[in-house]
Amino acid sequence: MEFATFLLAARRGYHQSSDEIIRNSIEQVVLSEQAGFQTASFAEHHFNNYSLVPSPLMMVAHCAALTSIIRLGTAVCVLPLYQPLRLLSEIGLADIVSNGRLELGVGSGYQQFEFERFGLNVEEAPAVFSECLDILVKGLNQRSSSTTDGSKRYLRQRYPSARSRRQCCQSGSLRRPETAWGGPIVRDTIC
């Protein structure tokens, strides 16, 4: 049996400061590793007290410096809120600083007010998610790609690969073992 912890970092009342909530979440990751948990994952939400973590990859990178064994995950990166080229490079960096312990979960998002505050339409989230996921998978599995199809939001651009030179193969990921990227792309967490 494997154990994991999911960190929402919710503010349940104004008696807790944002600083206290975030630091408690970080401490929970360290304690989870000490207790033998296999994974700690962070949610992504914006503009509310439901979750004070707007960037799960930043939490992964920070906690990677404080831990050595526990796998660190995103639950989830809301793809329609990202520019996929930048996200590719941030995924690569998080994987490197975590020594290949990144568990990347991605999703389409669902909270209309979060999308509205970014000037986006939540109704378009499924289509944008599919396009961004395609870019991520291609970017993590090949050096570069381009398209001349002007109908796509992002695919008009050339995009760099987030691959590193390290060889690391983790069972359960979407990528093929022969790819050179240094960590799992997604592990049964596409939502």
One-letter amino acid for residue 69 of the chain: I
CB 93 within 8 A of CB 100: no
Could you give the count of Cα atoms lying within 13 Å of 21 in the half-sphere of its Cβ? 17
Does 172 score more than 50 pLDDT? no
pLDDT, one tens digit per residue, over 77-120 is 999 999 999 999 999 999 999 999 999 999 999 999 999 999 99
Percent of the chain with pLDDT over 70: 74
Beta carbons within 8 Å of 76's beta carbon, 6+ residues apart: 43, 44, 56, 105, 106, 107, 189, 191
For 18-33, write each residue's pLDDT tens digit: 999 999 999 999 999 9
- Return the pLDDT at 143: 57
Q: Which domains does the chain have, with CATH numbers?
A: 4-160 (3.20.20.30)
